Structure 1
Amino acid sequence: MNAADTDDRRVVIIGPPPTPNGDLHVGHIAGPYLAADVHARYLRAAGRSVLYVSGTDDSQTYVVGTAARQGTSPEALADKSWHDIRAAFDAVGIAVDGFAPFDDGYRSAVLDFVDRLYRAGAFELRTVRMPYSAATGRYLMEGLVSGECPVCLAVSRGGLCESCGHPNNFDDLRDPWSTVDPDDPVTLRETQILVLPLERYRPQLEQFYAHRRLPWRPHMEQLVRELLARPLPDFPITYPTDWGIPAPFAETPGQVLNAWAEGMPASMYCTAVGQAHAGERPAAADELWRRDRDIQLVYFLGFDNAYFWGVTHLALLLAHQDRYVLPDTIVCNEFYELEHDKFSTSKGHVIWARDLLAEVPRDLVRFYLALTAPEHARTSFSSPALTKVAHTRLVQPWNDLVTDLAAAARTLGVHGAALPAGPAAHTRRTAMTARFTACYELPGFSMFRAADLISLHVQRLRESAAALTAALPELDAPAAIERLGDLYTEVGALAAAAAPILIDLGAAVAATTSRPGQAAPDSGPVRAVDLPTLPAVAPAQHQVPCTSP
């Protein structure tokens, strides 16, 4: 496939670093990570230079809270989770070019990034009131505190409300309580921290949103409008806690950097790790992000990260003046639920990605997750639905299709032979490929529409193959052979177009229809061979127990 536009810039795709407080469940995968993988695979097939990178967000206080509840140390939990998350990506076929570790190189990249801003006077010292546990002597922030969101009144964690996407800093939460010990009385206590005054960057933020090249999805557009309609809050750069990277600032001794302040330098470091894995030798962690490199920068993320990536992270880039590129677009998805209820590890309402992939072929999982992707609204995973949908919309029609093709080839005595394809087949192939391209390209990227197209064309070609089989007794051999060649041409094109989602089937079809080391031709004869089938899924296979790890 060829990209729909002529943009030949190198593409850097960022999957937001998952918090290493456990393995990845199906809800995580169905959001940004699968979508980013599909887009990256499409771009690579179109000949674009792509780096899809991620890492883990070890400094998040969620690691501290989860470790306390599990009776382990944050360090041990983060280390185990890093390996679990990487294994989950591999199981699903999410091909990140670099999955960065939380190591000395990471810390150095973060400190260099914030130190430049500190020396430039970008941060200001503020006295703020924060939730405080007198029993433990600890300030509570982010994943360590919950309360009522002051904007939408939903139960929210500190820093950001997952329901409405609005921030809640310092003492904004109403009736806060400790997530580690809900019975621990929480008070408010003053402390001094460094902040980035976001209001200072309002003109640049407004200009960015007014003139960016690509539109973003409506919910994120709405959130940005709401945020810019009121004074922008101060963004905390440091916190008075002991988990995270120590803040190297004289004004805040004993404090650490806010984990969300690491987002941009962390992404830069992940990019450098991806470059190193590709055999390059970046001179600095932020090399590819420099404005003169002119990369196309794309984020894939969930709505609960929209404020940080769309406002605070953008302001941090702007604060460096003209040093860095800015994102071309953000592909933002909604929540993916399990049987119409939120995934919850604490309540045991969860299906781990690797458990599911141990029972269900990953192409079928990827197809179902793409078809039910929460692109504009919350959607839901269901084990019975996966079985039914995968079987009726993909497995059965595909297997019937390849069976009919092979039978027709044998009946006509052309099995294994090179068959001609007529102009009509190439016209249909071109039209079909164009529709897939529209699904995979930005700004109209949609896994759902691409998966729906796969189903539509598998069914269409299955009906055509069945019609050919039924008509063989009445057709003369040349006409029948041409129709069979047309079908093989279209099926090969469909497999290639579906390959960003159906990665194993796409590879198997390409290997079957091409000589070793050669790609399948876009035109000319095609070989009438036995195409690979898809495995069936028994209903009981993937009833994964919903239990916490």
Structure 2
Amino acid sequence: MSKNFKRTLITTALPYANGPVHIGHLAGVYVPADIYARYMRLKGEEVVMIGGSDEHGVPITIKARNEGITPQQVVDRYHTIIKDSFKEFGITFDVYSRTSSKIHHKTASDFFRILYDKGEFIEKTSEQYYDEEAKQFLADRYITGKCPHCGNERAYGDQCEACGTSLSPLDLIEPKSAISGSAPVLKETRHWYLPLDKHEPWLREWILENHKEWKTNVYGQCKSWLDMGLQPRAVSRDLDWGVPVPVEGAEGKVLYVWFDAPIGYISNTIEMCEKEPKKYGNWEKWWKDPETKLVHFIGKDNIVFHCIVFPSMLKADGSYILPENVPSNEFLNLEGDKISTSRNWAVWLHEYLQDFSGKQDVLRYVLTANAPETKDNDFTWKDFQARNNNELVAIFGNFVNRALVLTHKYFDGKVPDRNRFSSYHKDTMYEVYASKYELEKFLSEYRFRDALRCVMDIARVGNKYLQNQAPWKIYPHDPEQVATDINICLEICAILAIVVEPFLPFTAKKLSNILNIETKGKWYTFGINKDFESSNITWSRNIVEDEKQLDYNKTILHVGDSIGIPELLFEKIEDSVIEAQVQKLLDTKKANEAAAYKANPVKENVAFEDFMKMDIRVGTVLDCQKVPKADKLLQFRIADGLEERTILSGIAKYYPNPEELIGTQVCFIANFEPRKLRGIMSEGMILSAEDADGKLVLIQPRMTVTNGVEVK
């Protein structure tokens, strides 16, 4: 339902402070949110963007325990990394705080107490797993066992990461405590629950009837949950890290992180307003005034919490506004595999900023152009390189650079006069304005990928125009025509500097500095009549139906304005740079495979006497070479303490320079019956170990021993 609002409150999902931020987080939440916030500011709207670190929850306590430090030390480390990375990447939070702050603890505690005093919770006693050795109840992530669906023996009590199935601790086969390794027992414990079933009737009307404009994935997931029927959900946990439950007799219990974390949006807003009251006013105008538009930017794994659970919490209080929209993206995969923090399978933001200094906008561009808005998408380094080289460099950067260079070459770096504004020039600017208005429509619908395409369409119009006019050819005989052409090109450059700002803010700043223009508040300052309102335009692809609203004489640049010295907006990314990033991922995959390696089951027992029948000896390699026309075979000539023998071994793939083995010692079975291979008699078997990756490694003594000694 469309409605006019006085202001907009944007929130972004709070990242867990148990690790850095990766490209999946950026593509799903933070880049789209920042685009929207920057767009609203360009229009002169009153808007704030609220962010912060989620610093409670079991993953943080597990990491602290594994590292032998306190949870506070964990969150202090990662909160700093995350906050600094966001700032360097150009994510424009009005506040970025944390849920371990005093103001958050008070806000969350007060929120719970209000609902508790109103009777909005129910108390229930249930059986949960308890570690008798550690003397504590176990959160879901502190319980491991075999997945009943795929057999993965390292599944958690809430999810199997191997098959992705959601679980409960009672589903696990042979559960174990992740703390002590012992088998947990079931023990009664008391907790408070939010009765979501009580809120189901109004949620059904509010979402299914009043918000059909929500994205399909959001609306569909909400409908699915509502159709299944909502159940009471616990709001407390048996832990010692978090916001203590502010009720007598609740010692050792904290607010469940899903209840605690979204209140962080409120507490962070309070903190922001208390620090700068003149700029932001009272916090309640952002959360309790119906003329404020609340928009949650989240990933799809948070849809239920932000569309059903958190609204139920706000409704139970009764004084808060509800979200107007919850734009949620799908997941971004990496090189064909699911991004995983635990497996280190990710492109981490802080590492990207180190490896690609000054290229924040390249990643912002790629993540937006390939945004998983309607389905899961895949990030690859080759695509990253191609989009930079073939789009940013070849289209956007190429047009701007040529226009600026020609300005200095022919007009001493000044904006020339628009002497001959013909119908062709008008048609060109019409295309530009039409793309700009369509861009605005897409932004208002949270379709950022399509909106970015409109920006690039403007650059394409400029490229096409410049190539068609070819001012370098006609300047000698018609400089007045070239003046008009360059004027048009510079105006398109100025328009690009404004419309690209939400997407590529560093590029916009560089370009606006060269053009000596200010982009802030300039969204409606060109190509339109005074009384124009964007709602008056009917959009279709590159067509503005109500063309009379356009004013081709209303421009950003003016005749005589000085243009700065041109500089490249983007640089080509070489193959070697991309190859280094791909190799880093390959190294990570190899390390993961090694860490996950599990030895094969021990074979059936054999009698000692059978083992003693094998004659295992040590000999020195006298010669080693590849067997002709046999890719796998190496031919060894070995001094075995008695004479010499020839043994063939299928390890050529792993020893490409067999001559390097000459003079080394190897272990071999001396009493295997000789057999002919490739016409060569092999008199034994060289012993090798097969590594986790399938590589065969020769078994060799660490010290030189006498040839022919037996291995016992």
TM-score normalised over the length of structure 1: 0.88
Is residue 437 of structure 1 aligned with residue 433 of structure 2? no
Deviation at 1:181, TM superposition (A): 5.6
- 1:538 equivalent in structure 2: 574
Amino acid at match of 1:539: D
What displacement does 1:481 show? 1.9
Q: CA deviation at 1:167?
A: 7.8
2:342 counterpart (332, 340, 346):
346
Does 2:466 correspond to 1:465?
yes
> What code does the residue aligned with 1:498 have?
V
What does residue 31 of structure 1 align with?
28
Q: Is the 8 A contact 1:132 1:138 kept in 2?
A: yes
- Structure 1 unaligned blocks of 5 or more: none
Is 171-180 or 457-466 further displaced after alignment?
171-180
Question: Counterpart of 1:325?
Answer: 321
> Which amino acid counterpart does residue 435 of structure 1 have in structure 2?
E
> Could you tell me which amino acid in structure 1 is paired with residue 244 of structure 2?
P
Deviations 1:277-314 (A, max 9, x none): 55448887655211x35310000001111111111111
Structure 1 residue aligned with 2:105: 107
Aligned to 2:86: 89
Given that 2:50 and 2:268 are in contact with CA atoms closer than 8 Å, whether structure 1 keeps it comes out as yes
State the SS of the aligned residue for 1:330: coil
What pairs up with 1:142-181 in 2 under 5 angstroms? 142-145=140-143, 173-175=171-173, 177=175, 180=178
Tell me what 1:510 maps to.
512
- Name the SS for the 2:93 alignment partner: coil
Deviates more, 1:394-403 or 1:271-280: 271-280
Who is 2:487 aligned against?
485
> Which residue pairs with 2:66 in the alignment?
69
Contact 1:401/1:462 (CA < 8 Å) preserved in 2?
yes
Q: Which residue of 1 aligns with 2:628?
A: none
Q: 1:499 is aligned with what amino acid? A: E
Instruction: Indicate how the Cα distance of structure 1 residues 9 and 65 shifts in structure 2: closer, same or farther if over 3 A, else same.
Output: same
- From the superposition, tell whether residues 480 and 112 of structure 1 become closer, same or farther in structure 2 (CA, over 3 Å): same
User: Which piece of structure 1 moves more, 342-351 or 22-31?
Assistant: 342-351
Amino acid at match of 1:476: D
Query: 2:675 maps to which residue?
Result: none
Distance of 2:520 and 2:329 partners within structure 1: 37
State the distance in 2 between where 1:481 and 1:86 align: 47
1:78 aligns with 2:75: yes
**Change over 3 Å in CA distance of 1:487–1:109 after alignment to 2:** same
Matches within 5 A, 1:118-157: 118-145=116-143
Q: Residue in 2 aligned with 1:497?
A: 499
User: In the alignment, is the contact (CA less than 8 A) between 2:218 and 2:327 conserved in 1?
Assistant: no
Q: In structure 2, the residue corresponding to 1:243 is in which secondary structure? A: coil
**Contact 1:11–1:296 (8 Å) recurs in 2:** yes
Deviations 1:380-414 (Å, cap 9, x if unpaired)?
Answer: 22222211211111112233213321343355436
Question: Aligned ranges for residues 27-426 of structure 1 at < 5 Å?
Answer: 27-101=24-98, 102-145=100-143, 173-175=171-173, 177=175, 180=178, 184-213=182-211, 215-276=213-274, 278-280=276-278, 286=284, 288-290=286-288, 292=289, 294-321=291-318, 323-360=319-356, 361-410=359-408, 412-413=410-411, 415-420=413-418, 423-426=426-429
1:216, 1:149 → 2: CA distance? 35
CA contact (8 A) 2:458 2:492 kept: no
| Cα gap change, 1:372 to 1:517, in 2 (>3 Å) | closer
Summarize deviations over 1:482-541 as a string: whole Å, max 9, x none: 222222212221231111111011112222223579987622354573554223123333
Shift of the 332–162 alpha-carbon distance from structure 1 to 2, 3 Å rule, reads farther
Residue identity opposite 2:495 in structure 1: A
Cα distance change on mapping 1:138 and 1:220 into 2, 3 Å: farther
- Residues 439 and 447, structure 1, Cα contact 8 Å, conserved in 2: yes
| Residue identity in the other structure for 1:483 | D
Tell whether the 8 Å contact from 1:404 to 1:469 is kept in structure 2 after alignment: no
Q: How many angstroms does 1:136 deviate by?
A: 2.4
Q: Is the 8 A contact 2:435 2:455 kept in 1?
A: no
Deviation at 1:152, TM superposition (A): 12
Could you say if the C-alpha distance between residues 490 and 284 of structure 1 is closer, same or farther in structure 2, counting changes exceeding 3 Å?
closer
1:153 offset after TM fit, Å? 11
- 1:181–1:42 CA distance, 2 compared to 1 (3 A): same
Any conservation in 1 of the 2:395–2:463 contact (CA below 8 Å)? yes
Q: Does the C-alpha gap of structure 1 residues 454 and 426 become closer, same or farther in structure 2, counting only changes over 3 Å?
A: closer
Are the structure 2 counterparts of residues 76 and 317 from structure 1 closer, same or farther at C-alpha, using a change threshold of 3 Å? same
| Alpha-carbon RMSD | 3.2
Give the residue type in structure 2 aligned to 1:39.
Answer: Y
Residue 348 of structure 1: CA displacement?
A: 2.9
Q: How far is the alpha carbon of 1:131 from its aligned partner?
A: 3.4
Matches of 2:413 and 2:461, distance apart in 1? 23
CA distance in 2, matches of 1:151, 1:263: 31
Q: 1:143 to 1:461 in 2, by over 3 A?
A: farther
Aligned residues: 539
What is the one-letter code of the residue matched to 2:512?
A: A
Cα distance in structure 1, aligned partners of 2:121 and 2:27:
37
Partners of 1:179 and 1:220 lie apart in 2 by: 36
Q: Could you tell me whether the CA contact under 8 Å between 1:204 and 1:318 is conserved in 2?
A: no
Given that residues 145 and 157 in structure 1 are in contact (C-alpha distance below 8 angstroms), is that contact kept between their aligned partners in structure 2?
yes
Cα distance 1:97–1:519, how it changes in 2: closer, same or farther (>3 A)?
closer
User: 1 CA distance for matches of 2:178 and 2:148?
Assistant: 22
| Residues 133 and 180 in structure 2, CA contact (< 8 A), matched pair in contact too | no
Give yes or no for contact 1:426–1:489 (8 Å, CA) kept in 2: no
Structure 1 71/454 Cα, relative in aligned 2: closer, same or farther at 3 Å?
Answer: farther
Q: Which runs of 5+ in 2 are unaligned?
A: 527-553, 592-712
Instruction: State percent identity of aligned pairs.
Output: 21
Q: 1:15 aligns to what?
A: 12
- Whether contact under 8 Å (2:18, 2:75) holds in the other structure is yes
TM-score by length of 2: 0.69
Q: In 1, distance between residues paired with 2:14 and 2:366?
A: 24
The CA deviation at 1:454 is 3.2
Cα pair 1:339 1:381 within 8 Å, conserved = yes
Q: Which has the higher contact order (CA 8 A, sep 6+)?
A: 1
